[in-house]
Amino acid sequence: MAAAIGERTRVVVVCTPNNPTGPAVTQAELDAFLARVPSRVLVVVDEAYVEFVRSADPIDGVATVRAHANVVLTRTFSKAYGLAGLRVGYAVAHPEVAAALRVVSLPFGVSAVAQAAAVASLAEQDAMVARVDELVARREQLLAGLREQGWPVPDAQGNFVWLPFPGDPGATVAFAAAADEAGVVVRPFPGDGVRISVGEAEACERVLTVAAAFRR
């Protein structure tokens, strides 16, 4: 991606963990990337799923922003905090970048209800961490089950796993249909793969049952 940056490049987005495939960028990888990015190019580090990351070298987004004037960190209350319907999130940036964001942002973009919910969520960190830890444990169990069946599943650091179906649009659609019939909704990307959000233990078992049928 660094090699693709040209004279016309203004913004680069680093999504970590990556959506929809799941792997996360390490701090060492991000530092190496930033060393190759011209200071005139803004780097947006999207950490929508940061609470689910359990890698050995996780990104310290806030420290990275402090160290680089051209880095912006974005996070959301939609995932780990469960406030997806309220559409509330935030950015961490240097003052001049934050000022530019305010100029182009929609007025009243976050409702008073969403703001109240976000503040209330911050007061319930222990409950949020407990929920995330439980989901991460199920994610690891689902990953292990899929790999045991022989699926080449990439590392998963978000609240979802990725089943690859490269170059096979029909298989992705068929898998999604089979999952739907089993009572589980997944998101197919025809020709690439299927993104599966980690849900209740029963839902994960149903996914494994459907996946097993596709490996026969």
Q: What is the mean pLDDT of residues 71-88?
A: 95
Please give the Cα distance from 174 to 128 (Å, whole number): 35
Q: How many CB atoms lie within 10 A of CB 158?
A: 28
pLDDT at 198: 97
Mean pLDDT of 160-178: 94
Contacts of 189 (CB under 8 A, 6+ apart): 20, 172, 195
Q: Which residues pair with 195 in a beta bridge?
A: 162, 187
Q: Is the pLDDT of residue 209 over 80?
A: yes
pLDDT in tens, 98-134: 999 999 988 888 999 999 999 999 999 999 999 999 9
15, 76, 79, 84, 172 from 88: Cα distances, Å: 18, 6, 10, 8, 32
